[in-house]
Amino acid sequence: MTASTTETDRVALAFSGGLDTTVCVPLLEEEYGYDEVIGVTVDVGQPDVEFAEARETADALDVQHHVVDAREEFAALCLRSVQANATYQGYPLGTALARPIIAAAIRDVAAAEDCVALAHGCTGKGNDQLRFEAVWRDTGFGVVAPVRERGLTREWENEFAAERGLPVEGGVEGRYSVDANLWSRSIEGSELEDPGTVPADDIYEWTANPGCEPELIELRFVEGRPVALDGEQHDPVTLVEILNERAGAHGVGRTDMMEDRMLGLKVRENYEHPGATVLLTAHEALEQLVLTHEERAFKSQVDQQWAHKAYQGLVDAPFVDALEAFLATTQERVTGTVTVKLEGGGCRPVARESAYAVYSERAASFDEADVGSDITQADATGVAKYHGFQSRLANRAIERGDAGGDPG
């Protein structure tokens, strides 16, 4: 490899202790000429074992290592995503939501440590490179991406790590690329890249194969934010952790999909997201009770746009601020309780209550003769006569035309 002509100084590296970021350390020192690599691991709810691995790897590489606790900030963003019912092509946005939080934390460490550049171990094929750099660009720091810039493969990285005796971790038995945070866990790579491969059960850690007795969970929301579980209040981090455990025991929250990435590639992804699934399901059920038909119809478009920008890692874009202004108005009435049933790998709402319900039991009941508010069933006769009137006229005109007549 040919050495680059970047400045010789400190660089802050997004550091997980996995294969990509471990290999990046000697490359940044030897091929890019940086005096010192500072590893930064950002806590967004990963398992404790990952921090232990990152620390051990950093020690073995003689790298200064920072761990930044961003769990509360990340959990707050996850709950913002609940208000927007945010999913991308059917799954909750865990990795996508975490990346801007992680990128901002690394930027702040870099500033405090007088770094001149920021580095990541993302490939040139994925989404994370774009999410990191959306935060890092225009900050005054240089941006370095050794894996992308040198076209490295995991095979090359494994060989390089073996030659150098580098300590590496790569997921289950080293076969997969695994990313976990408070909101979701993703598993990709190796034989999973073949869409025809049925995944082995050992790829899952958060979700068990369904088999538990059904369980009811009651969630209370205040202005679209979950605040209590079965009558007990919890902070956002704890609430999601509890739901991950309880819903995961029922196999809730598995996704196996073909995902369309930002660069146009279609990839096979596996996800686990039990807590997120429960919260999104319950929140949408409450919205169905308290929002009008027009609000729900338009909000579905806003939700989709919010999720799309979040997938891109652009949650701080002015467009998102505008979307959230609408969301904030709708969420003022999304207060109440929802009971969901966890059963056989599924989560479904089975009860909901709210003081803001746009619902009249008397009006909807088949056992009541009158609708209420001076409206009777008979009043619907006129509506029924006009309903579809224009379509019926159009069909008659078409029939006359088909018969060779003059529609006029």
Q: Cite the active site residues.
A: 20, 99, 128, 177
| Token pair of 368 as six digits | 């009541």
Q: What DSSP assignment string belongs to 13-33?
A: EE--SBHHHHHHHHHHHHTS-
| Token pair of 288 as six digits | 């169905």
> What SS3 class is residue 115?
coil
Report yes or no: 276 and 94 within 8 Å, Cβ to Cβ.
yes
Give the list of residues 6+ apart from residue 328 with CB closer than 8 angstroms, or none.
Answer: none
Please tell me the number of Cα atoms within 13 Å of 52 on its side-chain side.
Answer: 3
Report yes or no: 129 and 123 within 8 Å, Cβ to Cβ.
yes
> How many C-beta atoms lie closer than 10 Å to residue 219's C-beta?
25
State how far the Cα of 47 lies from the Cα of 11, in Å rounded to an integer.
26
Q: Any idea which residue has 């059917």 for tokens?
A: 90
State how far the Cα of 170 lies from the Cα of 316, in Å rounded to an integer.
31
> What SS3 class is residue 253?
coil
Q: b/e per residue, 14-33, with b = 16+ CB within 10 A?
A: bbbbbbbbbbbbbbbbebbe
Helix, strand, coil percentages (3-state) for the chain, rounded to 5, are 45, 20, 35
